[in-house]
Structure 1
Amino acid sequence: MATLFRWLLRLASAAIFLTVIVVALVYYLASRSLPDYDKELAVDGIGAGVEIVRDNSAVPHIFAETDADAFFGLGYAHAQDRLWQMVLMRRTVQGRLSEIFGRRTLDTDLLMRRLDLYPLAVRSVAAQDPQAMAALRAYAAGVNTRIDEINAESLGRGAPEFFLFNAPVAPWQPADSIALVKLMALQLSGQFRDEILRARTSLLLPDPDRLADILPDAPGSGTAALPEYASLFPGKTMPRYAGTPHPEGPLSPVPERGFAGASNAWAAAPSRSAGGGTLLANDPHLGFTAPSTWYLARLQLAGGGVIGGTIPGVPAVMLGRSQRLAWGITSSYLDDQDLYIEELNPDNPQEYRTPDGWKRFETRRTIVEIKDEAPVTVTLRWTDNGPVLPKSRFDLEAITPPGHVVSMSWTALSGEDSSLSGALRLMRAGSVEEALEAAPLYVAPAQMLTVIDREHIGLKLVGAMPRRDAAHQSQGRLPSPGWIEANRWQGMLPDASNPVWTDPAGGIVGNTNNKIIDRPFPLHVSYDWGDSQRVMRWTQLMQGRQVHTRDSFIEAQLDTVSPAARTLLPLIGRDLWYTGEAAPAGTPERQRQRALELLANWNGEMNEHLPEPLIYAAWLRALQERLIRDELGPLADAFDHVEPLFIERVYRNVDGAGVWCDVIRSVAVESCSDISRMALDDALVWIGEQYGTALESLRWGDAHQAMHKHTVLGDIPLLRYFVNIRQSSSGGDFTLERGRTSGRDPEPFLSVHGATYRGVYDFADPDSSVFINSTGQSGHFLSRHYDDLGTLWRRGEYIPMSLDAGLARAASIGVTQLVPSAQ
């Protein structure tokens, strides 16, 4: 027995020793890719020295004698901190993910090949102006210098992920940066998903008049009545929806419905500013990832310093400020996508119907390499309207008649996309007027651009607006017959058609993705907007003060009061409050009374430390489920977020919408009060199962945790605890500090989409401006700068946004000197 014990002890010791050796080796190899911020490096491709000063938050302040050298430095800094992120995004837009991830990303690759975004980016290189081309080339040279340095000095392949997913890293090209802008356009585009859902719902609803309830228009002047979807295709057999919505595959850049972007931006003129200077606040909302989409940087250009948020892979400060101008962006919700049902020639499926007869598809074969498998060859097809999409994606099979396919028109499908030139020209602008002169260069993504100089403020929709025929059968709201001339796009509207506001009498401009204008079709901009609630709270906060300060703008950015909660609770609970006798302890009735008492004294603030937001959110979710499940069946899964306008229509019985309360499969006629009571009981049962029955001790933040998930490693057991950043957070779907919930079990209130950048700029004291990103500067999970800014972001704090070189140097954690190599 003693001998056995000794051998077991030896084996255990050997196993522990080997484990320690393996862990130490893995750590050593991974840490080799941590960048050294304090060094001197001789490089090719610069005319003079470049100095990269990292402040104490690892924000690079790049000083150079020429603009080209400054962009070289930005490319080098991006590659130091975010090379894996850059390469992954490039592979995504190229449709080459399966080369390293295998078959699980094949659907994503095939979709990207069909959209043809990377070849269009290559063609768009010729559309850039000379200054943009110089920046693109210099930036690419900076990225490639870092790649060469990694290879020459064996710096851990540049990031730990490259050890797990081994693949050569090709040199960076100017087209790669343009392609990433197109990728962002895809990530911010959701209009085609709305078309599909509208068509599916139209086919399924027993009463077609109820479509305006479940998919309501934004408040404002009415919209002309739409035809039923099936009526657009007389004589065609239309499919009926069956099954549940298909989730997108791994690493898909196409957003789920409702996640195509949301943001806030507002500006105040000197007359509305306590300091006498203009003010601007901006917080663009994107999906939470680790690292963040945004990378903070400062460049010293010939025209002065520029500082703000950049996207790794793109040589531009996309939002931020210079010494004379500040700018912010929000999603415009412009309807820049249309789907078309294309009829195939029954005698020749290689042809499709056009207004002039049958026409052959434009085709091209492409080969997708797959890790550890044989490559797949597919034939890509295009019509006059755009690329043909696979029926297996986005539930297109549910709306496509037999013998037809679906194509898509989209403004980003342009080989003359000068959007990046517009962003770079904006950086050089010195006034609101000059900034708006850059607007015609923007193609996609379409954005609301908010700009201020020291005296003026402005807001404009930038991006190409499709020219539609006034006789379009569905006004772009439903997939339409592609062979009817009136449904087809007729080019783009002139830039003068884009809405713009400058120096309004009230001294305030802003956008929360709300409806911005009410013009008749086809100059309407959009029918589907991203906000109908938050704008009410924003208006209240802006008009509640005669003058504003930097701090009042910060307060508005961090506001967590839900106008939806304040509106809906009195409606859905009006027949439940203060009715009946006290219920016995331990009964569902008593639990319901306790919940109602808490909600009766709640002001609608979605604070992470309160129980009321969780009770309210669970109640509304259960309520919408009860209202729509019997009418929509499995399609109800597609409506996984509460729509306040729908609930309000039902409980105010607008145009007979109260009929949703009656369960059509039951004999009894249920009232809306009955459904409210049953939904509250459902919510309390769910809360009890998940968080316990002590309602007063509940915390919204336990359910509403911000999940910044590593795109690739975030689902790997054990490793996910090191690479994901999970934080209790306030806010909700309808607060200015927006924390969009997942809507999916088992964690429906997990916060997955929100402000990934916040900035507030004050031209009364420019160096008092502040900004933050949602994680940190580094994409390396062993770096202390991987999540250090996330801690501040979670607490609603910011870091200084100063162009004072002395301040950056005083708090420097390292200075990188790039010097021209001796020739």
Structure 2
Amino acid sequence: MKRRLTALALIVAATAAGSAWYLHSKQPQRAGERVLEHLQAAVEVRYDERGVPHIQARHEIDMYRALGFVHAQDRLFQMEMLRRLARGELAEVLGSQLVDTDRLFRTLGIRAHADAYARKLDLNSPSGQALQAYLDGINQYQAKGARPLEFDLLGIEPRPFTVADTLSVAGYMAYSFAAAFRTEPVLSYVRDRLGADYLRVFDLDWRPQGVLDQPLSAGDWRDLGALASLSHRALSDAGLPQFEGSNAWAVSGSRTASGKPLLAGDPHIRFAVPAVWYEAQLSYPGFELYGHHQALNPVASLGHNRDFAWSLTMFQNDDVDLIAERLNPDNPEQVWYRGQWVDLQRREEVIRVKDAEPVTLTLRRSPHGPLINEALGATAGQTPIALWWAFLETDNPILEGFYRLNRADSLAKARAAVEKIEAPGLNVVWANAAGDIGWWAAAKLPRRPAGVNPSFILDGAGGEAEKDGFYPFSANPQEENPPRGYIVSANFQPQSPSGLAIPGYYNLPDRGQRLDQRLADASVKWDLENSQALQLDPGSGYAQRLLAPILDDLRGAAANPRERDLVEQLAGWNGDHSLDSTAASLFNQLLYQLSEKAMADELDPAFYDNLLSTRVLDSALPRLCADRTSPWWDDRRTEAVERRADIVRAAWQASIAQLSSSLGENPAAWRWGALHSLTHGHPLGRQQPLSWLLNVGPFAAPGGHETPNNLSHKLGAAPWSVVYGPSTRRLIDLADASTALGSNPVGQSGVPFDAHYSDQAEAYIAGRYQPQHLDPADVAAHTRSTLRLLPPRQAQ
């Protein structure tokens, strides 16, 4: 027995030692020396206490090559998954369950567009050279560095990263912005199947003629619902960044304590491990920038230095049209276009599948764009639906635009840089130390025919889907140095200087209004401290706006003194989603039950589920509550005709029952923090034990949907998992940019078991900010290790 126990102990020890060695071998190298081919001179990389690299080079190209190397050390698996998702190549490593997702992305045309665009990109331009050097740094690491743990688990064979991969990921990011995929089928269904009275809550015009001379069939509607579901599922299940919204504001020196502009920004993106942004300070003689980088992108999407700073929000303009095509009854390979039958274009692509035979796709395209309902494969309906997408239709020199924005220290330079960002639509909020502040909506806005409402599926045969070019950049919403002394951007519908109506899927105005009310207070001098409080504000006026018309109905629904007390808590609630709030829990449960009791009976389950993920529902619910005669209140599943009070009562009873079953009968236990939590999910973290090893969390989460601290969940029954929120919080006072503050939701590294894999997660959820070291003395004081990247001749 003793010998057997000794042998077992030796086996366990050897296994533990082997595991420790294996995991250690996967860790990034942040100290010592490393040869990097093609360098002109040595590059020094100092790592601070959060694992942020501070890269000092003598030459620009060396700087970008070093960035690619250190970025790959920390995020190679993220880079691999993003390019595979964007290019429809996930099934090759994850198996047949990803074929539908791959088919969707192949159908969208991102891969084909990126390949074609890469062939014409000017790689001799400064931005093109920066991209090539950066990709070379990634590929050198991949060739000689540690293979990620996830590559071993999935059997991924490394292959070089290319310019087309970077452009494909840009296409995925643009696609993740596009709300039309899940919104336009739902709105068209309401218009064409339910009618004008039902459409009224969405505040959209109604045209009784429908989409086509011959209405869409039941099969077509099923396919549209399935397509919207597939689009939503492909994004939500990927465990990768998806852009959702954002806050940003700039305050001029007349309104700050320091007398210089202050910039704040927190882009709202789906949470994941690793985090979306990779922080790095880059410098070579004549250039310095502390930037936030996306995977496979050499230039910073967010950044600052001593002279200027900028942040981004989503413009949320509608840059996607879904178009119902008319097929030639005598030739199914033709559609009616501008007065004649024209041939569809065809191409074939092959999806490699890990555990099955390859899948060959035949992808067709009309003059309006790819036929996207063919993403459903053999179940595609009778009516082809084409996709017109600005990303596929514009020159979109976005790499050049951000390269210039990384160097834009004046209003004129910033404006010129932003003009080159054509898709996806973005708001760029910018400030400089000279005292200027500015905001520009970046997008190519299409000239649609008068009277066309692109919120619905358009008729491809009737001319309403045609575009007469694009409006000039001067028509885009923008402001420079406004007299009020501040600019705020929070995804609400902006105004064009030319009065141009800009269709879009904008967020509720409440978050922007709350920020505007506070920034408008002329008695406040803004600094880093009170700006933190504003970014972390967990409140919203949305609840009061929605509840006011139905308070009497709620009072009538309360069945006992305890419930009546809960109604009065809601009536007096200020909208704050703090961790100890009971009212926040009750309101969010009631919000879901109101939508479910009022709307689920009229909609196909797929359409209703998609509606829960749209921004139009946020706007529709207050209008619904204010309209006691809306036909939505009648439950079609009963013979009686229900009214608002009946549905409010049913929603109230269901809310009380759900919260009681979740946390018990005592309402004091229904605290927001007990029901609202954030877990950062790894792409492989959906199964045990990988979920335990790779995911980070859960954490009780303050804030909520459309509060300034926008930690948002999908509308549904308690408990709630936070889906997206501030992907970073940044504050830069341009009186002294070396005092800039920020936060990372998880950590710098995407390497499991690395010290910086999740070292910032607790500070983030607690609302603590970290210094972003910029000054050389400050960087030196916080350096924890130094890596020297050497050209081969110096290493010999």
Q: Which bracket does the TM-score occupy, shorter chain normalised?
A: over 0.9
The AA in structure 2 aligned to 1:489 is K
Query: In the aligned structure 1, how far is the partner of 2:207 from the partner of 2:652?
Result: 37
Partner of 1:715: 686
Match of 1:380 among 363, 381, 384: 363
Query: In the aligned structure 1, how far is the partner of 2:99 from the partner of 2:4?
Result: 44
SS of 2:687's equivalent in the other structure is coil
The 5 A counterparts of 1:431-510 are 431-454=410-433, 455-470=435-450, 472=452, 475-510=453-488
Distance 1:77 1:495, change over 3 A: same
Q: Deviations 1:498-550 (Å, cap 9, x if unpaired)? A: 221111111111111001116899x4222421222212211221123433222
Determine if the alignment matches structure 1 residue 556 to structure 2 residue 534.
Answer: yes
Determine if the alignment matches structure 1 residue 651 to structure 2 residue 625.
Answer: yes
Query: In the aligned structure 2, how far is the partner of 1:377 from the partner of 1:706?
Result: 39
1:305–1:803 CA contact under 8 A, matched in 2: no
Distance 1:13 1:540, change over 3 A: farther
Query: In the aligned structure 1, how far is the partner of 2:188 from the partner of 2:340?
Result: 26
Match of 1:133 among 116, 119, 128: 128
Partner of 2:172: 183
Q: Deviations 1:371-415 (Å, cap 9, x if unpaired)? A: 132111111211111111135659996xx6x3x211101111158
Match of 1:515 among 493, 517, 524: 493
2:515–2:708 CA contact under 8 A, matched in 1: yes
- Bigger shift: 39-48 or 620-629? 620-629
Determine if the alignment matches structure 1 residue 622 to structure 2 residue 610.
Answer: no
The AA in structure 2 aligned to 1:80 is Q
Once the 2 structures are TM-superposed, how far is the Cα of residue 335 of structure 1 from its aligned partner?
Answer: 1.1
2:539–2:577 CA contact under 8 A, matched in 1: yes
Query: In the aligned structure 1, how far is the partner of 2:121 from the partner of 2:267?
Result: 27
1:81–1:779 CA contact under 8 A, matched in 2: yes
Match of 1:777 among 744, 748, 770: 748
Partner of 2:408: 429
Determine if the alignment matches structure 1 residue 418 to structure 2 residue 397.
Answer: yes
Once the 2 structures are TM-superposed, how far is the Cα of residue 106 of structure 1 from its aligned partner?
Answer: 0.8
Q: Deviations 1:31-72 (Å, cap 9, x if unpaired)? A: 311012011012211111111111100011110011111111
- Residue identity (%): 28
2:475–2:498 CA contact under 8 A, matched in 1: no
1:76–1:143 CA contact under 8 A, matched in 2: yes
Distance 1:666 1:46, change over 3 A: same
CA RMSD of aligned residues (A): 2.8
Distance 1:255 1:723, change over 3 A: closer
Partner of 1:750: 721
Query: In the aligned structure 2, how far is the partner of 1:649 from the partner of 1:716?
Result: 41
Match of 1:38 among 14, 31, 47: 31
Query: In the aligned structure 2, how far is the partner of 1:684 from the partner of 1:630?
Result: 21
2:592–2:716 CA contact under 8 A, matched in 1: no
Once the 2 structures are TM-superposed, how far is the Cα of residue 349 of structure 1 from its aligned partner?
Answer: 1.6
Partner of 1:248: 230
Query: In the aligned structure 1, how far is the partner of 2:469 from the partner of 2:544?
Result: 44
Once the 2 structures are TM-superposed, how far is the Cα of residue 236 of structure 1 from its aligned partner?
Answer: 4.1
Determine if the alignment matches structure 1 residue 198 to structure 2 residue 170.
Answer: no
1:650–1:659 CA contact under 8 A, matched in 2: no
Once the 2 structures are TM-superposed, how far is the Cα of residue 426 of structure 1 from its aligned partner?
Answer: 0.4
Any gaps of 5 or more consecutive residues in structure 1? 1-5, 218-224
1:127–1:416 CA contact under 8 A, matched in 2: no
Q: Deviations 1:580-600 (Å, cap 9, x if unpaired)? A: 9xx9xxxx5244124224334
Partner of 2:45: 52
2:476–2:496 CA contact under 8 A, matched in 1: no
Query: In the aligned structure 2, how far is the partner of 1:364 from the partner of 1:86?
Result: 27
Partner of 2:74: 81
Match of 1:573 among 527, 548, 551: 551
Q: Deviations 1:629-667 (Å, cap 9, x if unpaired)? A: 3333534333326945433323332xx654433445545
The AA in structure 1 aligned to 2:589 is A
Partner of 2:142: 147
Partner of 1:540: 517
Query: In the aligned structure 1, how far is the partner of 2:5 from the partner of 2:501?
Result: 72
1:107–1:249 CA contact under 8 A, matched in 2: no
Determine if the alignment matches structure 1 residue 299 to structure 2 residue 271.
Answer: no
2:421–2:442 CA contact under 8 A, matched in 1: yes
Partner of 2:115: 122
2:544–2:571 CA contact under 8 A, matched in 1: no
The AA in structure 2 aligned to 1:47 is Q
The AA in structure 1 aligned to 2:492 is N
2:306–2:736 CA contact under 8 A, matched in 1: no
Partner of 1:800: 771
Once the 2 structures are TM-superposed, how far is the Cα of residue 690 of structure 1 from its aligned partner?
Answer: 1.2
1:190–1:255 CA contact under 8 A, matched in 2: no
2:475–2:496 CA contact under 8 A, matched in 1: no
SS of 1:339's equivalent in the other structure is strand
Distance 1:591 1:640, change over 3 A: farther
Distance 1:418 1:249, change over 3 A: closer
Distance 1:210 1:500, change over 3 A: same
Distance 1:658 1:476, change over 3 A: closer
2:745–2:760 CA contact under 8 A, matched in 1: yes
Query: In the aligned structure 1, how far is the partner of 2:377 from the partner of 2:781?
Result: 53
Distance 1:777 1:395, change over 3 A: farther
Distance 1:619 1:16, change over 3 A: farther
1:38–1:816 CA contact under 8 A, matched in 2: yes
Query: In the aligned structure 1, how far is the partner of 2:210 from the partner of 2:573?
Result: 47
- Bigger shift: 588-597 or 262-271? 588-597
Partner of 2:350: 367
Once the 2 structures are TM-superposed, how far is the Cα of residue 204 of structure 1 from its aligned partner?
Answer: 3.0
Query: In the aligned structure 2, how far is the partner of 1:330 from the partner of 1:254?
Result: 20
Query: In the aligned structure 1, how far is the partner of 2:748 from the partner of 2:206?
Result: 48
Q: Deviations 1:335-360 (Å, cap 9, x if unpaired)? A: 11111111222222222221141211
1:55–1:812 CA contact under 8 A, matched in 2: yes
Determine if the alignment matches structure 1 residue 336 to structure 2 residue 322.
Answer: no
1:333–1:528 CA contact under 8 A, matched in 2: yes
SS of 2:471's equivalent in the other structure is coil
Any gaps of 5 or more consecutive residues in structure 2? none
Query: In the aligned structure 1, how far is the partner of 2:688 from the partner of 2:10?
Result: 23
Once the 2 structures are TM-superposed, how far is the Cα of residue 612 of structure 1 from its aligned partner?
Answer: 1.9
Match of 1:282 among 265, 274, 294: 265
Once the 2 structures are TM-superposed, how far is the Cα of residue 18 of structure 1 from its aligned partner?
Answer: 4.8
TM, length-normalised to structure 2: 0.92
The AA in structure 2 aligned to 1:46 is L
Once the 2 structures are TM-superposed, how far is the Cα of residue 251 of structure 1 from its aligned partner?
Answer: 7.9
The AA in structure 1 aligned to 2:142 is I
Distance 1:12 1:190, change over 3 A: farther
Distance 1:595 1:645, change over 3 A: same
Query: In the aligned structure 2, how far is the partner of 1:251 from the partner of 1:300?
Result: 40
Distance 1:394 1:781, change over 3 A: farther
The AA in structure 1 aligned to 2:388 is S
Once the 2 structures are TM-superposed, how far is the Cα of residue 316 of structure 1 from its aligned partner?
Answer: 1.0
Q: Deviations 1:703-726 (Å, cap 9, x if unpaired)? A: 210121111x21111220121122
Distance 1:357 1:10, change over 3 A: farther
Partner of 1:220: none
Query: In the aligned structure 2, how far is the partner of 1:604 from the partner of 1:103?
Result: 45
Q: Deviations 1:740-779 (Å, cap 9, x if unpaired)? A: 113356x562111111111111112211111122110000
The AA in structure 2 aligned to 1:305 is E
